[in-house]
Structure 1
């Protein structure tokens, strides 16, 4: 019985896990499907697919908290990050680092 409960809990948890690829679809509009584009109007000199997982998560947390406003992208990124959970941010970062060439 305990095994069945554990299996059910793990199954539900995996269904609820954030899907980085699905979440990234909104990001791709500005950052490109491969994360290799500089967003329009941005003063950025690097692309998101060149960042480390930790840097991506750190930046997303900063945008969500409205404490980061780099490259003139603050207001747009504040809105994009507003509804992301920490699990979403990690899933996004995990996905974005796979886009590196």
Structure 2
């Protein structure tokens, strides 16, 4: 799974942000990150195929943005925050169903 990690390089103090950990356990993608913000100052957004962790400050800053796999079921994603660790759980569809879907919608992959 190739996930893209980006961070905002603004004036935000990034010393309260730890490395993001992504792993797949069964049919679920688990994204964990230690954050030094309070729960009310963190927002998790999913749009299209990416998940963004946002510091809900003024102005808002994107802490991390992650590209989700195509088999992610974003409608059922959930998040929790305990002991300064944000955990986002994203269910995944079975790959067998995705193979058929990909077969019906071919993609052109550029050769580098």
What TM-score do the two structures reach when normalised by structure 1?
A: 0.28
What TM-score do the two structures reach when normalised by structure 2?
A: 0.27
Higher relative contact order (CA closer than 8 Å, sequence separation 6+): 1
